[in-house]
Amino acid sequence: MNSMYTNFCGIDIGKNGFVVHLKNHENTYEYRNNRLGFQKFFRQHEESLKGSLVVMETTGGYERACLGFLLNKDISVHRANTRLVKNFVRSLGQNAKTDALDAKALSLYGYERWERLATFQKVDKKQEELKLLIERRQDLKYMLVQEKNRYQSPLNKGLRIGIKEVMNCLEAQIGKLEEKINSLIDECEILTRKKKILRTIPGIGDVTAISLLALLPELGTLNRKQVASLCGVAPFPKESGERKYYCRTYGGRRNLRPILYMAAMGARRKKGGALSLFFERLTQNGKRPLVALVALMRKIVVIANAKIKEDFAQSLFLENHS
């Protein structure tokens, strides 16, 4: 098989360690998931890694440190969709599962699919910091909702003082995070500009705009189909013979859907607005309210993507002709 890569490396990574398999090696190798482990891995396989494609799965953030280390060493890395890799392994008829087998499957996946695999691009430090802050805020807000539900439970009357203290602590932490987030946005001219553009779209307030900037840094670089798919709001047809079913949406980044849902609810309530009229038109034409709402979510993110793309294209044009 002709390839632009000299070799393929699969990395099965976990909380404490990671297992490596290089396509032209029989054995697998195990290292600690820390900087010393990354350095030992690179030192032992530097020649094999040059010009190679490394494939690793998303594992709840455990892969981020290794990913950053490899990118700093100018190694091409594909962060694979776990569902696609699982389906690939099933197609091989492989029933056993070990870390070593998973690493071998990932290197084979890269070897057979390399033409379709996009490499991960370095993320700006401010963008990465903003993402971490937003994710932490989401976690704390989820915990706060849980505590509020416990506080309102009739069975927890004797526990309410302690629950209230936890709620106050969480609210204080969320407040501190929001201060850091706003400060980070204000310090970055590009993020400030993108936020201003997003705020012009009905249904998108400060919180939604910042969340989209943090969790969807690709805004303005994708086409309408790509951005909808990345957000998990792209419709996929389901047909068999003469039977046609409702299109389904799935996949994408799960933490984006709740954000777009709230934006769509806000846009829907603004009577007389273009997005509100769009929703009403869909429901009048027989679409179920939830289906129409998902279509509205899709329209909002497509508009956001187009507006940012247009603004930066104009800026580039003016810069080149000034």
How many Å apart are CA 238 and CA 252, to the nearest integer?
A: 18
Q: What is the pLDDT of residue 164?
A: 95
The model's pTM: 0.78
User: In the prediction, which pLDDT does 128 show?
Assistant: 86
- Helical segments of 95-250, H only: 99-113, 125-152, 160-187, 189-198, 206-215, 224-230
- Find all residues with CB under 8 Å of 31, minimum gap 6, and list them: 17, 18, 20, 37, 38, 40, 41
Residues 6+ apart with CB under 8 A from 272: none
- List the one residue out of 100, 95, 91 whose CA is nearest residue 31: 100
Q: Which residues of the chain have pLDDT under 50?
A: none
Query: Beta strands 236-240 and 76-80: pairing type?
Result: unpaired
- Pairwise CA distance, residues 191 & 312, whole Å: 12
Note the pLDDT tens digit of each residue in 173-220: 999 999 999 999 999 888 999 999 999 999 999 999 999 999 998 888
Predicted confidence at residue 321, as pLDDT, reads 62
Whole-angstrom distance, CA of residue 10 vs CA of residue 8: 7
Cα separation, 19 vs 109, whole angstroms:
16
CA-to-CA distance for 301 and 71, rounded, in angstroms?
29
> Residue 213 in contact with residue 191, Cβ under 8 Å?
yes
Residue holding tokens 């989820």?
142
Q: What is the pLDDT of residue 245?
A: 74
pLDDT at 318: 60
User: Comparing C-alpha atoms, which of 189, 194, 208, 195 is closest to residue 137?
Assistant: 208
Q: Identify the H or E element spanning 275.
A: helix 274-284
Nearest CA to 308 out of 233, 229, 216, 232 is that of: 216
